[in-house]
Amino acid sequence: MARTDIHERILAQRRLRAAQGRLRQRRTIGRRDGVRLEVDGQWLTGFCSNDYLGLASQFEVGAALQDAVAREGTGATASHLVCGHHAMHEQLEREMADWLGVPRALLFGSGFAANLAVQQALLEDEDVCVQDRLNHASLIDATRLAGARLRRYPHLDPEGAMRQLRNAPGGAAMLATDGVFSMDGDIAPLRALSLVARTQEALLYVDDAHGIGVLGPQGRGTVAEAGLGVADVPLQLATLGKALGGYGAVVAGDVDLIEHLAGVARPYIYTTALPPALAAASLAAIRLARRDDWRRTRLQELVGQFRTGAGRFGLELMPSTTPIQPVMCGDEATATAMSAALERRGFLVTAIRPPTVPEGRSRLRVTLSSLHTPQQVNALLGAIAEARDQALRTAAA
């Protein structure tokens, strides 16, 4: 029989994405200076990174990285269970666990790998993972790759989660949710979900990639902000690559579960450990995030300023109190046109389109950093309003 030609298939898919206005394009950053970025020779003010606390370019963090590279070299040389587990990794895990108020933590190369590890190691074919419909792709893909049954409930709906768990077949159950949803910026109802998990004998797992460093006492994230502990949330993910400005992720929580992950999780066992120098940089970032409450205070002030200004300009926002402030555009063409108009005005704000977000819900994903100034936020608001008005005039023509 004749087989499908893969090149023809991907060309057809590309043509379809082009017709829908959904082609994705990488932008090469030449240089970076805080929130300022050089793109194709033009300096832009960025409002689309996840560097919420401004730690990616912080002097102490960079110095820790350079010192560790000089001492330890550039790589771990092996997986953790061979000879790649460095004292710096151990110290990072201990300090992350202490910060989050849990017994143990385990370091991974990325949040995607960590989410896969948790589900692959804990779930089997007859088990179920119940998830918020707007969970990050890594959580959804992890269930599929683990071979467990995937059930999804309406966004932020604990009763929907209860129904899915109650109607699920026998076997073990996990209830998984983002802490802060990366495209909407809203926060999961963790107290209600913890009650659902307890009554349905499910393990609650929180991917707090966008909450760690930003929310809760000392920036400990959404779990701490909800007043929950390891008995309520046995496992949570803390990324090192967003508010902490580095790379990698940590799964933290119950001792027995963490020990099990370290012994059997394939994304942990069968990959080279994170470079010790990156662990050193993340250690420095954690200490600053714990200490510097002023970064979170400034960030919340900027969030309030942005939302108040957006209201004056009549911009449609999502109900978010976090640094993720989506400006709704509707269709892909409008979002793309507005993003391009902002770039001409000196701002880098990415247009988010389906399939990342639902049909008709394209948006500009504005993200704020403690490094932004009130003047920059005001200038962005004026530029967004002008870009919207220009898009409306073009559509009416």
306 annotated among ligand-binding-site residues: no
Q: Can you tell me the distance from the alpha carbon of 249 to that of 142, in angstroms, rounded to the nearest whole number?
A: 15
210 annotated among ligand-binding-site residues: yes
The CA-to-CA distance between both ends of the chain, in Å, stands at: 52
111 annotated among ligand-binding-site residues: yes
Going by the DSSP 8-state scheme, the letter that residue 218 receives in this structure is G
CA angle 250, 251, 255 (to 5 degrees): 130
| CA distances for 383 relative to 199, 235, 377, 379, angstroms | 49, 42, 10, 6
Q: Which residues pair with 32 in a beta bridge?
A: 37
Name the one residue in this structure whose structure tokens are 């129904």: 163
77 annotated among ligand-binding-site residues: no
Q: Can you tell me the distance from the alpha carbon of 273 to that of 271, in angstroms, rounded to the nearest whole number?
A: 6
Q: Can you tell me the distance from the alpha carbon of 116 to that of 94, in angstroms, rounded to the nearest whole number?
A: 22
Q: Please answer whether residues 65 and 280 qualify as being in contact, where contact means their C-beta atoms are separated by less than 8 angstroms.
A: yes
Exposure b/e, 233-257, CB count within 10 A at least 16 = b: bbbbbbbbbbbbbbbbbbbbbbeeb
List of residues 6+ apart from 98 with CB closer than 8 A: none
239 annotated among ligand-binding-site residues: yes
Is the bond leading into 355 cis (omega within 30 degrees of zero)? yes
DSSP secondary structure, 80-137, as one string? IIIII--HHHHHHHHHHHHHHT-SEEEEES-HHHHHHHHHHHH--TT-EEEEETT--H
Closest C-alpha to 327, from 307, 305, 298: 307
DSSP secondary structure, 41-67, as one string? TEEEEE---S-TTS-TT-HHHHHHHHH
Closest C-alpha to 128, from 166, 181, 156: 166
112 annotated among ligand-binding-site residues: yes
Three-state DSSP at 369 gives: coil
Closest C-alpha to 172, from 109, 124, 229, 238: 124
Annotation: binding site for substrate:
24, 136, 356
Annotation: binding site:
24, 111-112, 136, 182, 210, 239, 356
Annotation: binding site for pyridoxal 5'-phosphate:
111-112, 182, 210, 239
